[in-house]
Chain A
Amino acid sequence: MNYQPAITAHDLRVHRGGREVLHGVTFELPGGRIAGLIGPSGGGKTTLMRVVVGVQRGVSGEVRVLGEVAGAAALRRRVGYGTQGQSAYEDLTVRENLEYFAAIVGARPEQVGEVVEQVDLGDAAGQLARSLSGGQRSRLSLAAALLGRPELLVLDEPTIGLDPVLRERLWGLFRALSDTGRTLLVSSHVMEEAARCDEVLLVREGQVLAHGTPAELTGRTATDDLEQAFLRLVEEEA
């Protein structure tokens, strides 16, 4: 296992439209594990992920990803980003979208079939992206992020809109990926999903409320589950 930190942030601040939306966030995430970015929508999860993949403007503080400064050109082959929307071409089929993204990241064409199977989109592979359901869209975005087998996967709400069976399968996939040494940063606004992560960053109103393993967080707050732990932490903050 790889204990090098995959992502480190020191006093990370983001200004957007004259307003500070991340207020001096500091954390360190080890490699080869699943880290959950958990918290309510609008709390800064997507902004934090965009900083990690290097497309966010107005960033100050220090953020390093896989040993490089976040956004460095060398990282573009090593980091895969699954956006919250589908961010695919509506007028192309699932397969055509993935064939294009595969060519761009230099992945072999055979990988397209592989990732389609991994996210269980085989039946929809020939469908136009515009005709996909919400759950299929987020899986298309996830499939695109898997192309090129990046060392770090940054996945923004990958399980949103999925039925429990599919959600279970995707978490199985995340676990399998992390078992092969890949690092995952997964966001969710569902507390229940936090329990499936190795580490949890609780994010609210542009700040990291707490950071630790699920067991540490429930232990520290003397609560039974993470939902309760989150509420307790918000109360302490207030």
Chain B
Amino acid sequence: MTSTGATALRVARQLRHDPRTIVLLLAVPALLMTILRFVYDHRHVAFERAGPALMVLFPLVTMFLVSSVALLRERTTGTFERLMTTPLSRFALLGGYGLTFTLLAVLQAGLVTALSLGALGLSLAGSTALVVILAASVALLGLGLGLLASAFARTEFQVVQFMPAMILPQLLLCGLLVPRAQMGAVLRAVSDVLPMSYAVDGVRHLAIEPGVSGAAFGDVGIVLAFAVGAILLGALTLRRRTE
């Protein structure tokens, strides 16, 4: 077995010993989507606008939290130090996390998408598969940002505080509350350099354009590029030698 595969299996086993976290990861997004549906009970148009955006926000928030805490534990409990005395490379380590967490995100997105399109009556003109691929790309972005957050925190208390700091601004500026075209020039410019703006643009394209939308495809590419960038930047903070 390769080191990446072994790491993915190890991370999956850690999750398996924590069934409560798995249930929360899978059930909470479904529950929130259902609540949103009834909040907009008499305004289905508004649900059609906000629902798809929420689909790509869930993997960002959950994967950010899971990865930031998991990687902080690696750094603080001595396991990372042990791994760095072995032939394991930090890219193989991150690859293992990426595999398992992306699989989890695909499960989560599949469940939310099925529920939204089925029982909740959301309409989606485009490819469902591409929605799930977009959600998986956002999950990798969550991993990258979580990895970065873990580098700047010493405790789990600190690391969860990076969630509002790194995720909420993207939520405000991604076009979920107000379409990005209606924002002032400065906010618009900021939102242009935030990855979640492209994730929400992408899922909106998929909501209204039939089939595999070319624009959505481009957005998936941009989100993936941000995700890879965040993971590479984060990898620089995983040092073999520490103080």
Stretch at the interface among A54-62, A183-191, A198-206, A218-226: A54-62
Residues of B within 8 A of A17 (CB): 243
A3-30 contacts to B (CB < 8 Å): 16-17
> Which listed segment binds B: A103-111, A116-124, A208-216?
A103-111
B13 and A76 contacting across the interface, CB-CB below 8 Å = no
Q: Mark A48-84, 1 if CB is under 8 A from B, else 0.
A: 0000011111110000000000010100110111010
Q: Indicate if A114 sits at the interface (CB-CB under 8 A).
A: no
A85 at the interface (CB under 8 A from B): yes
User: Are B242 and A55 in touch, CB under 8 angstroms?
Assistant: yes
B82 in the interface, Cβ–Cβ < 8 Å? yes
Closest 9 CB pairs of A and B: A87-B78, A103-B6, A100-B10, A57-B241, A81-B85, A87-B82, A76-B87, A53-B85, A85-B78
Over the window 171-182 of chain B, the binary record of Cβ atoms lying under 8 Å from chain A Cβ atoms (1 yes, 0 no) is: 000000000000
- Interface: A92 (CB within 8 A): yes
Inter-chain contacts of B242 with A (CB < 8 A):
55-57
Residue from B10, B13, B77, B88 in contact with A87 in the complex, judged by beta carbons closer than 8 Å: B77
- Count A/B pairs, Cβ under 8 Å: 80
B240→A128 contact, CB < 8 A: no
5 other contacts beyond A56-B241, A77-B87, with CB at 8 A cut-off? A73-B87, A76-B86, A85-B77, A96-B13, A101-B86
**When the two chains form their complex, are residues B241 and A91 in contact, meaning their CB atoms are under 8 A apart?**
no
The answer on a CB contact under 8 Å between B78 and A105 is no
Contact B241 A104 (CB under 8 A): no
B residues sitting closer than 8 Å to A (CB atoms) are 1, 3, 6-7, 9-10, 13-14, 17-18, 73, 77-79, 81-88, 239-243
Contact A58–B243 (Cβ < 8 Å):
yes
Q: How many residues of A contact B (CB 8 A)?
A: 34
Q: Which residues of B contact A90 (CB under 8 A)?
A: 73, 77
Q: Specify the chain A residue showing the minimal Cβ separation from B21.
A: A91
Give A101 to B85 CA distance when docked, in angstroms: 11
Q: Chain A residues in contact with chain B, CB under 8 A?
A: 16-17, 53-59, 71, 73, 76-77, 79-81, 83, 85-92, 96, 100-101, 103-106, 128, 144
Report the separation of the CA atoms of residues A59 and B242 in the bound assembly, to the nearest whole angstrom: 11
Residues of A close to B79: CB separation below 8 A: 87-89
Q: Are A55 and B77 in contact (CB under 8 A)?
A: no
Point out the residues of chain A lying under 8 angstroms from B18, CB to CB. 91
Closest chain B residue to A74, Cβ basis: B87
Instruction: Known contacts A73-B87, A76-B87; decide if A83 and B78 are in contact (CB<8 Å).
Output: yes
- Residue from the list A55, A73, A96, A101 in contact with B241, Cβ < 8 A: A55
Does B17 contact A105, Cβ atoms closer than 8 Å? no
Set of chain B residues within 8 Å of A87, measured between Cβ atoms: 77-79, 81-82
User: Is A104 a contact of B240 with CB atoms below 8 Å?
Assistant: no
CB-nearest residue of chain A to B15: A91
> Most chain-A CB neighbours within 10 Å: which of B85, B88, B240?
B85
Q: Could you pull out 28 A-B pairs where Cβ atoms are within 8 angstroms?
A: A16-B243, A17-B243, A54-B85, A54-B240, A54-B241, A56-B241, A57-B239, A57-B242, A71-B240, A76-B85, A76-B86, A79-B85, A80-B85, A83-B81, A85-B78, A87-B78, A87-B82, A88-B79, A89-B10, A89-B77, A92-B14, A100-B6, A100-B10, A101-B82, A101-B86, A104-B3, A104-B86, A144-B82
Closest chain B residue to A90 by CB distance?
A: B77
Q: How far is the CA of A60 from the CA of B85 in the complex (A)?
A: 19
